């Protein structure tokens, strides 16, 4: 019995992440190289799981003073 894990994962490229975060591709690569954002290596290529990108954004969130 095999489990198809990729059906539950949305894999993103460096370009995809740059567009989502509205930052440069170089900045995404820097975050990846500094291991500030989780990534996968698939066939020698860097991929990001969408929920990891969402979690990265949530962790960077600064609450308002009223919160």
6 neighbors 13 (Cβ within 8 angstroms): no
Q: What are the residue ranges spanned by the domains of the chain?
A: 9-60
Q: Which of 29, 64, 44 is nearest to 21 (CA)?
A: 29
CA dihedral angle for residue 21, residue 24, residue 26, residue 30, rounded to 10 degrees = -30
Please give the structure tokens belonging to residue 38. Answer: 């989780």
- pTM of this prediction? 0.81
What distance in Å separates the CA atoms of residue 64 and residue 41, rounded to the nearest whole number?
A: 36
Which pLDDT tens digits describe the chain residue by residue (67 residues)?
Answer: 455 555 578 999 999 999 999 999 999 999 999 999 999 999 999 999 999 999 999 999 999 998 6
């Amino acid at each position: 019995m095999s489990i198809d894990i990729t059906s539950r994962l949305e894999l993103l490229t460096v370009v995809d992440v740059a567009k989502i975060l509205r930052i440069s591709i170089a900045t995404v690569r820097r975050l990846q190289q500094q291991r500030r954002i989780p990534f996968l290596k698939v066939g020698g290529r860097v991929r990001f799981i969408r929920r990891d990108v969402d979690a990265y954004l949530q962790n960077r969130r600064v609450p308002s003073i009223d919160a």
